[in-house]
Structure 1
């Protein structure tokens, strides 16, 4: 019967529910979630306290890790030794914690996922910054509880001066919930805490001015800001992380992607293996070799590309398919008064400041009590100094110390503590010097007590103490951000960072592009040989030059009939003499395609503008097509088809018109046709166009101009041997579209074939670049008007074997200094073209 009485009948469902709830609450409160005050889970707190008790401060020698683990397991944390050791190791890994708390000696693991050495081989002690975490723990600043066997007290929280939960983050999986908190920069967090102290009503949006976003120990790039903002304001969000990469060139000239920083918590070795497997499985094209060149100086992974690979395309593929780009799901759940809560950045700061306030008040009370206790003793010692003869007589006349103490208490109205201090006083305390020290100590203690009393009575003074201590922490341990934040383009206006200056955009025959300020190109007189315009490879030469302002949008048209969009400021900048960057790395055109023309527009967002303007395109065989600009007002990263190009043909020109322009098309054999734009019907993007000029089988179109009414533009033509002329537009009669045209220049062996046709005024300069890379900029007004059928005058002196590559009319340079005469230029440029100094030199 007695045995039956000890049996409690319970259904399985109720017992399972009760046991599961007990287990889950134990995991949530005592294992997996950090406390919002000190940012530590119980195991980390116990490790810190055990190291503190062992005296393993930053200025003491390291001790075996096994000693620390044994102390933790034996006194505070009766769990597996590997769990405690791994927790301690993680606190010492600079790639895991933004501000490590443990100073490890030996193999503490690596970013490749290598395990740490066994605890019997490694040593550990606390970092200097950990002193700030343990500061004032002996001053009754925190609550204590007994350990698992009720023999040793341990703190329930640490009195940290550092907002550990925010700066180091945390991650843990409990039962039914998890936490994943990102690390942040200490300097930014301290600034935000100070701002909160100054204004407790500060909003989450205002705190974003101080804490820009997470700051991961491994650096990298935070890509986009919406997820960061959401995480900071709500406590939950998705932060996109990217590796930091650079495009370099090998000694053989091949492009390579160099990775110098990787996303947080990514295993480097596994990442490289995954990339290598994808290369072997042909899931990623264009990579010939990948190697890890990391050393003690830093991380460096090199990915060498194949000869025809496009670096930007390969990189985007890597970002999409490998851990080079990964997301960090922020979930700020921490224990607040023992209960899990989802916390925003403002909540985290508020709870930390509340904790610091509690610590400062309790510390001040402790310091005040200790100061008062010492003052009480000092006052008693001073009474003894004043009555030393009588006190000596009382002590000598007493049979026991207790009797002497009782007599002193009664005679001088002393407390028990004061009487005990007098009896235990040494004879040396009777000297005059010791009396002076006691008086000085009394005065100092009275000042200290007054100061501490003021702190306790005034909350604003308490907050100032917290703020001063935080600023001191920032001064000692604050550092620069490691993670760069790249704001998405729709979230800010990049044009704000660029002046709206005119730029010269050059594209070489082999497809290198750059932008250079127009002011770098200075005017020369007609007949000069030109200044060095671009450093190109021997077989390369500048083929196209365009002028646009920094805020404009450029539409690139390729010879295969594709259209791409690009802001001018997105084009890589280069000096006048630099080569530029491969255009395939700037816009995603095919390797065998080339840019042939551009349209320069102020804005594609203006509905009236895009519907009232047109794009006219012309191909090498004389086909012409007219389409509304509106059809090209929706940029796509991969481009769109602009015109159907038949086999053997290619696009050579595209112009922006108002719908009423006069169109002129010129052919290589010297013929040109003029007709009104209104004779060409607008069609959609999908279409091949109509016949613009009829040419012979061995002839081809070299250019097209569109002259708006009342523009007062002349027609300027230039031959490949440097001869050119200006002709009034009215000398060309208007004919039907599709005719053979009329003679525009007298082609002879001396002039060479027609190379270019331009629409110009006296306010234009003519920029000419020849195949050797030299440029000349000459004023159009220096070129006289001539008849339609003449051969013109020499515009540029060419060296033997050289020829004109590209011609462009640009705005006049104003009053810039004229640098050379024709004769001076000829005398000063006798070196080979690729090595020639600029004309100014």
Structure 2
């Protein structure tokens, strides 16, 4: 390639071309990208269809599958589409056709399906050999005018047939049914809308071409999804999304509270968000119950038949329904964000992110072009018919001569063309052809009055069409009238035409703390030495005998409540958060805490404490460094926990104790104890801390806070509580070495065993 120039050079008699690799790849990838953008992924703003959908509808029209006619096997339809217009896989064609028939996917289905075409649970359609289909009235209106030169046609992929470049589209299908697709370097996602509102917006735009986005959104307030739901997006956000062509809509399930009597109730979900599979939604809700992420939810059942009916049972009747739903909206697909990205093809060629007004303008301009082309086509047909009628009238007035020529002349056509029919009137070739092609029995129909009446009617129609073509105001009035007819057929008064998606304010329900949704009950939390945790009902004695697994033993036991957040302190310096209501019951041996939080296997549990508002904790490492940490800064929001103590080398977390008092007592592994003022410790959320006590060998064994005036207490080996009130010998400044612990201090060098 070293001798290659910027221009391709022919070699080997033109059979081989040499060109730079960058150019070769660039040109070919650009060709592929353009093909994907224009012929696969992005819809046309005029009819709202991609080529595969357009070809499916056109092929069904060619098969004469009218809404009032019979059904045909889907395999036959997809086979015709693949063989005649769309040379791709029949599975892809059938999937696209099936979606056009799904009432939960299309706001206004374009295919009338018979058989199993899938369901809202996410099940796919049956094989194409089992299902049948025909066009709907909406699809028929999209193609109205194809036989009247309303749009351009182009050769199909092998040049044997012709297909429409775009459909005439009697209504704004792009916005009515929505579209989605991923192209090369761009994507599109347009939600469905209500056709009654769209037509109102189109008519407002016809009346006022300079209409503002604010005025347009009064007619089209937001999407209208086939599965209903409730839009909780603020109006100003919807307006901004329609103005820019990009944005998102928060869509929630529709629900209501059902009274079961005696103070009990349940929640019934009747509509779920668009494109959410009901089966996966139920699985997610069941997972929330199992993992206890939403403790107030006790059970979920699917009682759906034709309509959606999902039952949500609360754990306690005291739970507020709005609070429960707020948590479910946050943690499941009962609420989704539907993205808006109106990236569409303008005039079938240029991809552009359009505002709502631009999309409607593209549709209306297309409708005007369709109207003009159909009018011109009709004028041409009328002119041809008027010419034939003039010939019929001449033949009627000279019927005997016409019959004589036909009976006696070898070439009647030439004779009739040369004949003067009176006053220098001659017949044209189309007139002669029409006369000669008449059947004998049709001669009796040649009544002058009938011919002249048809001639007058067509002449008046032609004059009306010519006036229409010459007056833009008349054209827009005609388009508005046609849209009014569509509105009559599919508007809010028609079956299924009323708006399905409602509007509401999101409110602040989702910000309710999870503790507010849990029934408050006392529990005793027990964690074994190997990390098996359980919660026994009520406040049991902390020294009560409890069974453990073989080889395991007691670790920690604390009193708490189901609404409490419990901090589990790992030896790795991280603090993990458990919710009392989420802990397993006390009937068995519990569950491994490592299934609930991401505590590494090599890290031990060094503490278990309950969070209280305004509480502070003394955090210290085995190296003798520590600080005071507010409880709120220790609470973690994820299973990974929160790093609080920064540790080096083989250091580990040694102490996490609630702060109570004005002094700190520290004892090292060398049995030396130091007492200093609590105010000498800094308050921080994370870090290494400051030196508590200095050691030559070993490290920190234990530390606790206390009130100096009340003395320092500990338990002796016999279990008796001893209090040392005169601590003058051990008082000092932070980071000192301290003095040997008092006589009778526990041999394990800990204040509490």
Residue of structure 2 equivalent to 1:674: none
1:42 and 1:406 map into 2 onto residues whose CA distance is: 49
**Superimposed CA distance per residue, residues 733-770 of structure 1 (whole angstroms, 9 cap, x where no aligned partner):** xxxxxxxxxxxxxxxxxxxxxxxxxxxxxxxxxxxxxx
Q: Relative to structure 2, which stretch is displaced further, 173-182 or 474-483?
A: 474-483
Hey, what does 1:291 align to over in structure 2? 301
Structure 1 pair 39–484 and aligned structure 2 pair: CA distance change class (3 A): closer
Counterpart of 2:383 (choices 358, 372, 395) is 372
Tell me the SS of whatever aligns to 1:154. Answer: strand
Partner in structure 2 of residue 339 of structure 1: 350
Aligned to 1:101: 110
2:393 is matched with which residue: 365, 368, 382? Answer: 382
The SS at the match of 2:55 is helix
1:485 deviates by 4.2
Whole-Å separation in 2 of the counterparts to 1:436 and 1:26: 58
**What's 1:509 paired with?**
none
Q: Secondary structure at the match of 1:104?
A: strand
Structure 2 Cα separation of the partners of residues 455 and 276 of structure 1? 63
Residues 101-125 of structure 1 show CA distances to partners (whole Å, capped at 9, x for unaligned) of 0000000011110010000000000
Q: 2:248 pairs with 238, 248, 252, which one? A: 238
Q: Deviations over 1:627-650 (max 9, x none)?
A: xxxxxxxxxxxxxxxxxxxxxxxx
In structure 2, what is the Cα distance between the partners aligned to 1:415 and 1:588?
87
**Maintained 8 Å contact 2:405/2:416:** no
Structure 2 vs 1, CA of residues 440 and 341 (structure 1 numbering), >3 Å: closer, same or farther? Answer: same
SS of 2:146's partner is coil
1:145-200 Cα distance to aligned partner (Å, 9 max, x none): 00000110100000010110011110000010000001110000001101111111
Aligned length: 500
Structure 1 pair 249/448, CA: closer, same or farther in 2 (3 Å)? same
Structure 1 residue 240: deviation in Å? 0.6
The answer for the alignment partner of 1:201 in structure 2 is 210
Q: Deviations over 1:668-720 (max 9, x none)?
A: xxxxxxxxxxxxxxxxxxxxxxxxxxxxxxxxxxxxxxxxxxxxxxxxxxxxx
The match for 1:6 is 15
Paired position in structure 1 for 2:449: 436
Does the 8 A contact of 1:248 with 1:258 survive in 2? yes
Secondary structure, counterpart of 1:14 in structure 2? helix
- 1:670 is aligned to none
Instruction: Judge conservation of contact 2:396–2:446 (CA < 8 Å) in 1.
Output: no
Aligned equivalent of 2:474, options 453, 456, 461: 461
Deviation, 1:269, is 0.6
Task: State the partner residue of 2:49.
Answer: 40
Matches within 5 A, 1:628-667: none
The answer to whether the 8 Å contact 2:43/2:179 transfers is yes
CA 258–420 in structure 1, closer or farther in 2 if over 3 Å, else same:
same
Is the partner of 1:179 in helix, strand or coil?
A: strand
Question: Is 1:313 matched up with 2:313?
Answer: no
Offset of 1:129 from its aligned partner? 1.6
Matched position secondary structure for 2:157: coil
2:185 is equivalent to residue 176 of structure 1 = yes
Structure 1 position 406 matched with structure 2 position 417: yes
Over 3 Å counting, the alpha-carbon distance change for 1:387 and 1:171 in structure 2 is same
Counterpart for residue 265 of structure 1: 275
State the alpha-carbon separation in 2 of the partners of residues 97 and 242 from structure 1.
19
The 1:303/1:164 distance shift into structure 2, 3 A limit, reads farther
Counterparts in 2 of 1:70 and 1:432: CA distance versus 1, 3 Å: closer
C-alpha separation in 1, matches of 2:91 and 2:325 = 40
* Alpha carbons of structure 1 residues 315 and 298: separation in structure 2 relative to 1, 3 Å: closer
Give 1:532's aligned residue: none
List aligned pairs for 1:596-745, cutoff 5 A.
none
Q: CA RMSD in A?
A: 2.4
Could you say what secondary structure the match of 1:129 adopts?
Answer: helix
Question: Which residue matches 1:72?
Answer: 81
Shift of 1:396: 2.9
The residue that corresponds to 2:656 in the other structure is none
State the Cα distance separating 1:227 from its structure 2 match. Answer: 2.7
Q: Is the 8 A contact 1:428 1:434 kept in 2?
A: no
- Cα gap change, 1:484 to 1:94, in 2 (>3 Å): closer
Query: Which residue number corresponds to residue 503 of structure 2?
Result: 486
> Map of 1:548-587 to 2, 5 A cutoff?
none
Gaps of 5+ in 1: 491-583, 594-841
Pair 1:424 & 2:437 matched: yes
2:156 to 141, 147, 161: 147
* CA positional deviation for 1:425: 2.8
Aligned residue for 1:207, secondary structure, equals: helix
2:365 equivalent in structure 1: 354
Contact 1:112–1:268 under 8 Å retained in 2:
yes
Does structure 2 retain, via aligned residues, the 8 Å contact 1:103–1:127?
yes
Give 1:435 deviation, angstroms: 3.1
Using a 3 Å threshold, how does the CA distance of structure 1 residues 15 and 197 change in structure 2: closer, same or farther?
same
Report deviation, 1:443.
1.3
TM-score relative to the length of structure 1: 0.57
Q: In 2, distance between residues paired with 1:367 and 1:89?
A: 36
Q: 1:229 aligns with which of 236, 239, 250?
A: 239
Contact kept, 8 Å, 1:220 with 1:482, in 2: the verdict is no
1: CA distance between counterparts of 2:165 and 2:240? 32
Q: Secondary structure at the match of 1:91?
A: helix
Q: 1:398 Cα deviation (Å)?
A: 1.2
Q: How does 1:98-137 map to 2 (within 5 A)?
A: 98-137=107-146
Cα separation, 1, equivalents of 2:450 and 2:413: 28
User: What displacement does 1:393 show?
Assistant: 2.6
Deviates more, 1:22-31 or 1:7-16: 7-16
Give the C-alpha shift of residue 52 in structure 1.
Answer: 0.4
Q: Which residue of 1 aligns with 2:339?
A: 329
Distance change (3 Å), C-alpha of 1:482 and 1:305: farther
Of 196, 200, 209, the residue aligned with 1:187 is 196
- Please report how far the alpha carbon of residue 383 of structure 1 lies from its aligned counterpart in structure 2 after TM superposition: 1.0
The answer (yes or no) to whether the contact 2:266–2:311 under 8 Å persists in 1 is no
Taking a change above 3 Å as real, the CA distance of residues 276 and 296 of structure 1, as seen in their structure-2 partners, is same
Query: Any conservation in 2 of the 1:112–1:269 contact (CA below 8 Å)?
Result: yes
Query: Distance in 2 between the 1:403 and 1:7 partners?
Result: 60
Distance verdict in 2 for CA 1:96–1:587, change over 3 Å: closer
Whole-angstrom distance in 2 between the partners of 1:453 and 1:127: 33
CA distance in 2 between counterparts of 1:226 and 1:191 reads 21
State how far apart, in whole Å, the 2-side matches of 1:587 and 1:281 are. 20
SS of 2:129 mapped into structure 1: coil
Question: How far apart are residue 482 of structure 1 and its match?
Answer: 3.5
1:571-598 Cα deviation digits (max 9, x unpaired) = xxxxxxxxxxxxx9999799999xxxxx
Aligned to 1:448, the other structure's residue is in SS state helix
Deviations 1:614-636 (A, max 9, x none): xxxxxxxxxxxxxxxxxxxxxxx
Structure 1 counterpart of 2:483, from 470, 481, 495: 470
Shift, 1:430, TM fit: 4.0
Q: Which residue of structure 1 lines up, in the alignment, with residue 606 of structure 2?
A: none
Three-state SS of the structure 1 residue aligned to 2:386 is helix
1:514-561 Cα deviation digits (max 9, x unpaired) = xxxxxxxxxxxxxxxxxxxxxxxxxxxxxxxxxxxxxxxxxxxxxxxx
Distance 1:585 1:44, change over 3 A: closer
Distance apart, 1:407 and its partner CA: 3.5
Partner of 1:702: none
Question: So what's the TM-score if we normalise by structure 2?
Answer: 0.64
CA 1:391–1:64: 2 relative to 1, 3 Å: same
